[in-house]
Amino acid sequence: MEPAENADRAEGEVNPPVAAKKVFVKTYGCQMNVYDSQRMSDALAVDGYAGTDRIEDADLVLLNTCHIREKAAEKVYSELGRIRDLKAERASRGLETVIGVAGCVAQAEGREIIRRQNAVDLVIGPQTYHRLPEALRKARNGEKVVETDYAIEDKFEHLPQPRKAEVIGRGVTAFLTVQEGCDKFCTFCVVPYTRGSEVSRPVAQIVAEAERLAEAGVREVTLLGQNVNAWHGEGPDGGEWGLGRLLLRLAEIPGIARLRYTTSHPRDMDDELIEAHRDLAALMPYLHLPVQAGSDRILKAMNRRHKAADYLKLVERIRAVRPDMAMSGDFIVGFPGETDADFEATLELVRTVQYAQAFSFKYSPRPGTPGADMTDHVAEAVKDERLQRLQALLGEQQQDFTAAMAGRTISALIDKPGRQPGQLVGRSPWLQPVIVDETAGEIGDIIDVRITRTGRNSLFAEPI
Ligand code: SAH
Ligand code: SF4
Ligand code: F3S
């Protein structure tokens, strides 16, 4: 318990010490799951659960899962097998263990998870995390609980905010989910089914959360959403705000020096947001803007609703207002019907854009999505070969991007101790680790540094 909470209690009044229950949370998938895991931990803390990173000590094991590709989803079941053994072992010592599955596999598969692994006590979907404490009580009474209805109430409003001491312990960078769900229905993707339709959090709620983060020492906030740039809300002026306007508002909060947002859809990059990249120094020059493929035929089959040329034009416009903008992206190879020529178009697009970083995947058919029912699936060996070629090209571009930093002066947010004693690690505007001597400043400082040497992905620097 925080000392502050005990401070005003008279001696003798303090509750007898109760051994706190422990929760082990394992997070798979995207940053939104990372954020959700923290909010669930905050909610559980109110119920007396302390976090642990030793699974064998946990009274509650919570897996926050991802359904995006088959491999991600299957990993959960092998992990559950191991946890079942752990539960049995703890039971032999008279200890209770509740096993909970949260996240997108929970939403997509629901009760099926308990059918496949009977040791699971609790399945809870991403829209109902505010009901976790209640669901947990039921599970501890021996009920098998499945909570996967899309909630009508706003989960964020009902989830307790983290206590200041907890936020302080979490460092100087933070995620803040502003938007959830997706209405785009790309034909390969499960997200519209696991996260439901697009919902934006209200401005006041977001500003209040960002202020709390800033008070706890956070300097850099990354706004999150499956389609973060589709965020919109009513501002205090009564007008309709888009993400660009929201970023301007958040930049006014004392202490917040850097802002980012992810993940964006090319269709939702409006003028206001592009102008924010021109006008707002706090908005970091790094944009994750997935395109998935470079062939118009495949983009159409994917239901991305834009052409390759639209994407290139967009990148051009963004770089015109922010010339140091580094681009990041996601790619899928081997979508049904993808020919060699289609794949070449993807390589061509990559060569044109020059990515600083990118994520690429082999197409994985997901049950319930239109892509899975398409007939002209690409052979696994072809997917492998394409992925290798694409990753080689993207890897080259990433290394070129990092190598070009040598000799430059950049800003770095010092955010953690280094692996070697006497070192600190900072973060460049382009998300590269920047290694400096510990005399360069303190965690939370933003300093100007000169890059003396570059590694594969990290930068070595000296303060100026
Ligand atoms: N909202 C984001 C993407 C979220 S999913 C967007 O629209 O770009 C993250 C990434 O996983 C996607 O960009 C895509 O590259 C990849 N992905 C999604 N479904 C996939 C599938 N069925 N097979 C392989 N990769 C997939
Ligand atoms: Fe999935 Fe497409 Fe929505 Fe992104 S925009 S979450 S890829 S359906
Ligand atoms: Fe995975 Fe769900 Fe995120 S499917 S990528 S955890 S939205």
> Which DSSP string corresponds to 408-425?
-EEEEEEEEE-SSTTEEE
Burial 88-105, CB ≥16 within 10 A → b, else e = eebeeeeeebbbbbbbbb
Contacts of 423 (CB under 8 A, 6+ apart): 417, 435, 436, 437, 438
Gap between the Cα atoms of 405 and 175, Å rounded: 27
Question: What pLDDT is stored for residue 209 in this prediction?
Answer: 94
Say how many Å lie between the CA of residue 229 and the centre of ligand 2. Answer: 12
E strand map for 311-456: 326-333, 357-362, 409-417, 423-427, 433-437, 446-454
Q: What pLDDT, in 10s, does the model give residues 59-116?
A: 999 999 999 999 988 999 999 999 999 999 999 999 999 999 999 999 999 999 999 9
Question: Quick check: CB of 366 below 6 Å from ligand 1?
Answer: yes
Say how many Å lie between the CA of residue 189 and the centre of ligand 1. Answer: 6
Gap between the Cα atoms of 357 and 290, Å rounded: 11
Pocket test for ligand 3, best of 66, 177, 189, 369 (most atoms within 8 A of CB): 66
Mean pLDDT across the chain, nearest whole number?
93
Share of the chain above pLDDT 90, in %: 88
- Position in ligand 3 atom list of the atom nearest CA 105: 4
pLDDT at 401 over 80: yes
Query: Measuring from atom 3 of ligand 3, which residue has the nearest CA?
Result: 30
Say how many Å lie between the CA of residue 221 and the centre of ligand 3. Answer: 20
Question: What pLDDT is stored for residue 165 in this prediction?
Answer: 66
pLDDT at 152 over 80: no
| DSSP 8-state secondary structure symbol assigned to residue 431 | S
Query: Measuring from atom 7 of ligand 3, which residue has the nearest CA?
Result: 191
Gap between the Cα atoms of 143 and 122, Å rounded: 8
Cis peptide before 263 (omega within 30 of 0): yes
Q: Write the single-letter amino acid at 440.
A: A
SS3 172: coil
Pocket of ligand 3 (CB under 6 A): 29-30, 32-33, 66-68, 103-104, 190-191, 194-195, 226
Angle at the Cα of 80 from the Cα atoms of 59 and 75, rounded to 5 degrees: 135
| Residues belonging to the chain | 464
Compute, in degrees rounded to 10, the torsion defined by CA atoms 432, 438, 441, 445. Answer: 40
Relative to the alpha carbon of 72, which ligand is closest?
Answer: 3
Q: Write the single-letter amino acid at 105.
A: V
Gap between the Cα atoms of 167 and 324, Å rounded: 32
CA–centroid distance for 381 within its chain: 30
- Position in ligand 3 atom list of the atom nearest CA 104: 2
- Position in ligand 1 atom list of the atom nearest CA 371: 22
pLDDT band at 20 (very low <50, low <70, confident <90, very high): confident
Question: What pLDDT is stored for residue 196 in this prediction?
Answer: 93
Say how many Å lie between the CA of residue 220 and the centre of ligand 3. Answer: 23
SS3 87: helix
Gap between the Cα atoms of 420 and 367, Å rounded: 46
Pocket test for ligand 3, best of 67, 175, 263, 288 (most atoms within 8 A of CB): 67
- Position in ligand 3 atom list of the atom nearest CA 28: 6
pLDDT at 365 over 60: yes
Q: What pLDDT, in 10s, does the model give residues 225-264?
A: 999 999 999 988 889 999 999 999 999 999 999 999 999 9
Mean pLDDT of 397-406: 97
Pocket test for ligand 1, best of 298, 330, 359 (most atoms within 8 A of CB): 330
SS3 397: helix
Contacts of 165 (CB under 8 A, 6+ apart): 2, 4
pLDDT band at 156 (very low <50, low <70, confident <90, very high): confident
Relative to the alpha carbon of 195, which ligand is closest?
Answer: 3
- Position in ligand 1 atom list of the atom nearest CA 331: 15
Mean pLDDT of 438-451: 96
Say how many Å lie between the CA of residue 266 and the centre of ligand 3. Answer: 19
Q: Are 314 and 272 in contact (CB under 8 A)?
A: no
pLDDT at 362 over 80: yes
Greater confidence, 361 or 234? 361
Question: What pLDDT is stored for residue 356 in this prediction?
Answer: 98
Mean pLDDT of 346-367: 97
Relative to the alpha carbon of 288, which ligand is closest?
Answer: 1
Gap between the Cα atoms of 416 and 169, Å rounded: 11
Question: What pLDDT is stored for residue 14 in this prediction?
Answer: 46
Mean pLDDT of 407-432: 96
pLDDT at 19 over 70: no
Question: Quick check: CB of 433 below 6 Å from ligand 1?
Answer: no
Question: Quick check: CB of 184 below 6 Å from ligand 2?
Answer: yes
Question: What pLDDT is stored for residue 153 in this prediction?
Answer: 75
Gap between the Cα atoms of 413 and 407, Å rounded: 18
